[in-house]
Structure 1
């Protein structure tokens, strides 16, 4: 297995450093033509994918954002519909959730509002979901709130969702999935299933046809689950990341009864800041940033194989970090002195049948929040439902960055 980073197609964007600015998330569009970023200045930016990412001899093109939208209030989440194609302008939209505002469907070319949908909190107050996900067919938009999921038909605008999926019977109930839902995801392999993560240290699988929970796993290490995804190859795994956790856990999606992970992938992440992972389209790689400024690339096929071959009769979890990192960890490359908030794999990849190698393209966004702390000062992090002790948040003094690069495996 060849382990190297390709540098001939490297593309680097540096933004002016300020006391407020850092990138918090990045997402490729489903057709790979642009990268959407969120940052601490309450701004959405769309960058066109440069031709030089795939061809080092090509003109790199402009590095400025093709679209910039700044909101007055914090942005909670954004999501692309799976059918987005730049060649079809009608499909070029993304959903945007901003605190205390209706959910918007934004035209990716013009920035104009195409649709508006309102979710209500207790007391009939307009609220915004903290997480978003489209159904695999793109007709339904799910919004993760506190103790419930709003279900919108994107063809029906108005003041109420199509329905609500309650994740717990009542606010005071001991049962169900409690807390603010930090992340939602779906899989084309199971189009009726919805995977929800909660800051209450849990993730759950819901059947959207009946609105019932299929499985609930609680007590995940860390201070709240920030991401849970079905494996891209066949949805046989559920991959889980938490804040203030130094691992990404993998669960057997076909057997969640015992609630135990199959294996763990090391990833330094002892921070309240979200650090998102992604998978290659073929499901073979998992890519993640970490709190030390590294991009880590793991071989999910090898991790699953190693887990299956070394799991004992007692059913204990395989320790990938100690036993098989030399084959499971394909590469670890430091790209910044700041945390890498998102490392995302481009939706297209290039397998070469003659050489047996496959080339993948990636993007990573960097920057982090730094805090000055004093005891007894309560502040609620916009990424969380927990209070922390500090008086102010300030930037690092280092420019936030976008790095685009390739890896050949």
Structure 2
């Protein structure tokens, strides 16, 4: 498997400009809901595949699931307002019972090349796994060890921009594996605090951001399979949980736990934040952010169930944000489709027990994975005619 994937030619996805229409409310396209159990099976993030054909999500206590984009949404610039909501069913499920920390797609994923269709995951007290996106089978593992030769679980995982390396952030180091060589062969880069989040810049090859539990971000440069420190960014109040680079690689957006600010850093002048925007985050849970492929819009979830959108095309603080109240519970995952005006969101969080009744209120549960249309909408003329006739007859 790994030899085939190593030989596969990696090509950056073709950048196409997506037109978003934020003037109208988002139209729900598809949904899947996981039932509630006593052990809280809530969702923990969603990720579009690089080619946009499928969506990966993590469900606490119920593994990982891949849902496919409905076929009628592959093309077309307009969606009818009367389009029914498509019930999603996982095309692939991996019933991992343990706690899953992080997951990410292979950056060169292309559904026409099966060898590239895979994703990484890291979990509690286990190695990093590489999963086949067609079958859900385990392809291979990458095993990091600590000083007493025990498996050192990765808190965060990420591919390099070219897909040739895997970065695994643990409590005391970041381990760098070669993608085509699974096992325990790696290069180690020591860190002062647990590496809770790792992202690689696609525009600036070799530049990697490492976010820690200690509210700091370390920028490093990858060369010859090792890391070299560039600078350290400080400004968040909590541990870093989510980051994304801008399209040109000159900016970095970051968010943290129990921190109501998303910070934009100008990496050309990294001494202080370029600007900050506010969101609702009052939990230790990871609340994701994402950037549109055109680089203009930044989106974020929130513990209040709202999705916030900012126009960050200028190097100034956005004057206002657009808000979409899409969920009744915490919206912890947001992911913009790479080529279509479609937003994927997921909701859910841990609800504490009522100390008096030893039960939880089911009214606030919403463990849902949804797809939303952010493009042009059109009223169905047949539906309008039917409404007029019904009103006339009445």
Q: TM-score, normalised by structure 1?
A: 0.79
Tell whether 2:68 aligns with 1:48: yes
**Paired residue for 1:10, among 29, 39, 49?**
29
The correspondence of residues 63-102 of structure 1 with structure 2, limited to 5 A, is 63-102=88-127
**Paired residue for 1:347, among 330, 338, 347?**
338
SS across alignment from 1:348: coil
**Paired residue for 2:188, among 164, 184, 194?**
164
Tell whether 2:245 aligns with 1:230: yes
Question: What's 1:267 paired with?
Answer: 279
Aligned mates of 1:204, 1:296 — CA distance in 2: 27
C-alpha deviation, 1:59, in angstroms: 8.6
Aligned mates of 2:60, 2:101 — CA distance in 1: 11
Aligned mates of 1:154, 1:2 — CA distance in 2: 39
- Label 1:193 to 1:2 Cα distance change in 2 as closer, same or farther (>3 A): closer
The correspondence of residues 240-319 of structure 1 with structure 2, limited to 5 A, is 240-256=254-270, 258=271, 260-302=272-314, 304=315, 306-307=316-317
Question: What's 1:190 paired with?
Answer: 204
- 8 Å contact kept, 1:226–1:274: yes
- 8 Å contact kept, 2:244–2:289: no
Q: Structure 1 stretch 45-54 or stretch 243-252: which is displaced more?
A: 45-54
- Label 1:38 to 1:247 Cα distance change in 2 as closer, same or farther (>3 A): same
The correspondence of residues 13-162 of structure 1 with structure 2, limited to 5 A, is 13-19=32-38, 20-53=40-73, 56=79, 63-158=88-183, 160-162=184-186
C-alpha deviation, 1:52, in angstroms: 4.2
Tell whether 2:384 aligns with 1:370: no
Give 5+ residue unaligned stretches, structure 2. 1-19, 377-394
Aligned mates of 1:59, 1:367 — CA distance in 2: 24
Give 5+ residue unaligned stretches, structure 1. 168-177, 308-319, 350-359, 375-391
Aligned mates of 1:183, 1:193 — CA distance in 2: 14
- 8 Å contact kept, 2:176–2:186: yes
- 8 Å contact kept, 2:156–2:168: yes
Q: TM-score, normalised by structure 2?
A: 0.82
**Paired residue for 1:205, among 219, 225, 229?**
219
SS across alignment from 1:190: coil
SS across alignment from 2:241: strand
C-alpha deviation, 1:300, in angstroms: 1.1
Aligned mates of 1:139, 1:395 — CA distance in 2: 47
- Label 1:113 to 1:393 Cα distance change in 2 as closer, same or farther (>3 A): farther
1:332-376 superposed Cα distances (whole Å, 9 cap, x missing partner): 111112110011101114xxxxxxxxxx211000011123599xx
Question: What's 1:382 paired with?
Answer: none
**Structure with the higher strand share, 1 or 2:** 1
Tell whether 2:197 aligns with 1:216: no
1:233-273 superposed Cα distances (whole Å, 9 cap, x missing partner): 211111110111111011111111x2x21111111111111
Aligned mates of 1:240, 1:188 — CA distance in 2: 16
C-alpha deviation, 1:5, in angstroms: 3.8
